[in-house]
Structures are given as C-alpha cells and as structure tokens.
Structure 1
C-alpha cells in the first residue's frame, strides 16, 4: 500500500517535519514570461522568454489532537507536534532568509518515520523560498490551526572564481549549491591552517585573508594557531 507525504526541511535536513494532514489539493503554478508586441503592417507577435520560477500553494491544518486522518506517528522525527510548534518553526525559518526544501514523496506503508529522500518515489524535491505564511485558529475546535503556505522555487546563485591557465584559457570553478547554512564559527583541528579552513568552509582557499582579518590574526601568528582555537566565520 502506498500513500503520499509532504515534507518541509531546513539546513540540509537538520530540521524536518512531515505535514500531519495532507492537503486536499497541491497547487503548482508554472508560467512563462513572454511579452507581446505589435508590429506595423504585420500585427501582434509573441516573444517567448525563460519560464518563471515554480510556485506552490499548500493549504491544510496543524491538528491539536490525533484525528483518524492524521498521518504522522506518535514518536520519531516526524511525530505529531503541537500546532504552535509548527507555526514557530516556519516563522523561524523565514527569519533566517534561507531557502527550505519541499518534498512531495510517495511512501510505502511503514515508511512514515524514514528520511523522505530514501522513499520509493519522488514527485517533487526542490529548494524553495517561503513567500507567504498565514494561519488562524479554527473556531469551535480544540486548538487546530488552519494555514496557507506559499512557496517559490529557489535557484542557488553565487559569484564564481575565475582562473586563467598558462594557455590563456579562462576556467570557472563550479561549486555545488547547498541549502545548508554555513557555520558561524569553526574550531581548529590537527593539521588545519587558515587556507585549508577557507577552502573547506568558504569554498576558496584564497579567502583565508578574510578569516584572518575577521579574527584579528597577525601574519606572525598564522603558523602558530593552536588546536581548539575557535574562529569566527564570515
């Protein structure tokens, strides 16, 4: 037997929950950005442009009790939370100004508490920004919260470092996008130096000077940094 599950996660799956009640419908908006022009002695023409970012709207409830239609288990990472816990978690994610990940997954019976990325089938799995979140207490209920959540597909972008080889060929260093939040501090380990740390955390060893300046490290101490030293990261 197969069912469908809706999951929201943040910071590379470090925080995740499954919607306890599946929405009756999942509205997905795919549209283009074409423009029409009128040409003298010819008429109207349409210039096709790149498609706009996918938009998703979800409407459901955060239940205050275990109704028969509640899909999440009593225990585990996808357990049923109190309604305001879901609200506060989404509000916290919005305040970080970081993308979340929306997953719409086909699940076999018994898979409710598993990582949705390991499920049998995927319909949607994409990074998204929270564009709008509205909620209200349901009158006459025992504390259920009705909510509407509007999401828009998020495209990772960044300035890529460019290197020129001996033949004058320009090469761009491709970096894999990630929705994981960068750490604000880094604790030095055996074998570490600022160049290695900049390469690991910032993706470019040449940025070690940024870490050096941020932590007020003089050039004379670059080779004497102790293991366990906590560095502030940009």
Structure 2
C-alpha cells in the first residue's frame, strides 16, 4: 500500500484519477505579488502585495499491463490520457488531494504533455496546474425609470432564465449540462448563485475555498440566460 495518495477529481468526485505511480518529487510554488518601484532621491522600494496563485507540476508515468506497477492502475495508460485531455479541453476545475502533504486544492490544467518510449508501452506525462479561485464580484443594482404616457414608470423586470431546485444527487456539472447542454458551463451557475452556495456550505460546516463544490438539496438556483 502506498504511503502517499495523489488524487485528481472533478465535479464532487464524479470522475476520479488516483495516480498509480507517484511522482518522485512534488513541489508547490506560491508567489507574493509584491511590486518594486523606483523613487527619486530614495531608490528602490518594495510594496507589499497579496499572495499569488499556487502552481505545481506532476511528472510520472501511467504503467501498462507489462509493468509491475500495473497493479496500482485502475485504467489503461491511454484511458488516463484521454480523461485528462477531456478535463483540460473542457476547462474543468480539478480537485487535487495529496494525503501526506495535507494538500486539498481546486486547480486548472494549464498544460498536459505525454510521450512513449521505443519498446515501452508505458505512457510518460507531465501535468502543469495552477490554483483556481472564484471571483466574487459584488452585484450593482440600479433602478431604471422610463417615461410612459407622460408619467414616470418602472419597466417590468426582464424574464429570468429560470430556476432549478437542487435534489439529492445533483451536481453543478449536471445542472449545467441539463440547462446548457455542456457541463463545463457550471461556473456560470455558480457565479449567479455564489451567495446561496456559500451560505449552505457554511451551514453544513463546509465553508472555505472549496465551498463552490458542495451543493445541498432544497436550495433554489437561478439559471442565468
């Protein structure tokens, strides 16, 4: 049994990849967005900034049936490659968990390289990932009045795209696929309902950076056009 488990998953573990052969080394980089400026008669000064995104690269191989490591694999090498390419092209948010490093991050696949060597059925790969953060931009509400028959009147609100009541087994990916025909559109639903999702996550003790991945039955979401 491996001491370290590295798991990649999407959409509340709807699809999961546990790396069969761990990278020899895993390193995370996190920049601090400080800014250096030059001041007359003073010289350089460093202005403190916020933290940047966490970055990492995973490099190893997917073993073939001829490899002694194949016992740890749950898919054939080409199936791993196909699934990772599908995630990358769909822009899926990937949850990466590394057990002994206490890593639990939402990330995006920036680059995925893979290759095969002569006489070797294993597929060697390198995945570059960067941290994913949701943008919580406050909504600006405005009141518009138009003149009608000489009087000021407020126009009727434009019809919404509809609503969806969450039931057991629902996922943001599934709701987006049902509403738009593409599961990768789920950030659109999250953005329109972030306050509801975050409140429910807090209520159920799941508040934090990953609360966008937890949804609960009974919540009513607005489905934007």
Scaled to the shorter chain, the TM-score interval is 0.5 to 0.7
Q: What is the CA–CA distance in structure 2 between the aligned matches of 1:34 and 1:20, rounded to whole Å?
A: 39
Residue matched to 1:203? 193
State the shift of 1:80 in Å. Answer: 2.3
Deviation digits for residues 69-118 of structure 1 (CA, Å, limit 9, x no counterpart): 4572xxxxxx5211010000011111212211111014xxxxxxxxxxxx
1:63 CA displacement: 0.6
> Offset at 1:34?
1.4
Task: Give the 3-state SS of the residue equivalent to 1:3 in structure 2.
Answer: coil
1:44 deviation in Å? 1.1
Matched, 1:129 2:102: no
The structure 2 residue matched to 1:105, chosen from 61, 84, 99, is 99
What corresponds to 1:10 in structure 2? Answer: 10
Q: Is residue 2:8 matched to residue 1:29?
A: no
2 CA distance for matches of 1:87 and 1:46? 44
Distance apart, 1:39 and its partner CA: 1.3
RMSD of aligned alpha carbons: 3.1
Indicate yes or no: 2:125 matched with 1:147.
yes
**Distance in structure 2 (CA, Å) of the matches to 1:58 and 1:8:** 11
Q: Name the residue aligned to 1:47.
A: 47
Tell me, in whole angstroms, the C-alpha distance in 2 between the residues paired with 1:145 and 1:19.
13
Secondary structure (helix, strand or coil) at the match of 2:135 reads: coil
Is the 2:64–2:70 contact (alpha carbons within 8 Å) kept by the matching residues of 1?
Answer: no
CA contact (8 A) 2:111 2:129 kept: yes
Q: What are the equivalent positions in structure 2 for 1:53-132 lying under 5 Å apart?
A: 53-65=53-65, 67-69=67-69, 72=72, 79-106=73-100, 123-132=102-111
Superposition deviation, residue 159 in structure 1: 4.5
1:183 aligned residue: 176
Please list every run of 5 or more consecutive structure 1 residues that lacks an aligned counterpart in the other structure.
Answer: 73-78, 107-121, 164-178, 187-198, 205-231
User: Is the 2:53–2:130 Cα contact (8 Å) retained in structure 1?
Assistant: yes
CA–CA distance in 1 between the matches of 2:47 and 2:136?
29
User: Unmatched 5+ residue regions in structure 2?
Assistant: 142-170, 180-188, 195-222
Q: Paired residues, what number?
A: 159
Change (3 A) 1:130 1:38: same
Change (3 A) 1:6 1:66: farther
Q: Answer whether contact 1:184 1:233 (CA < 8 A) is retained.
A: no
**Mapped contact 1:53–1:153 kept (Cα < 8 A):** yes
Q: Secondary structure at the match of 1:183?
A: helix
Normalising by structure 1, report the TM-score: 0.59
Distance 1:233 1:46, change over 3 A: closer
The structure with more helix, counted as a fraction of residues? 2
Conservation of the 8 A alpha-carbon contact between 1:185 and 1:233: no
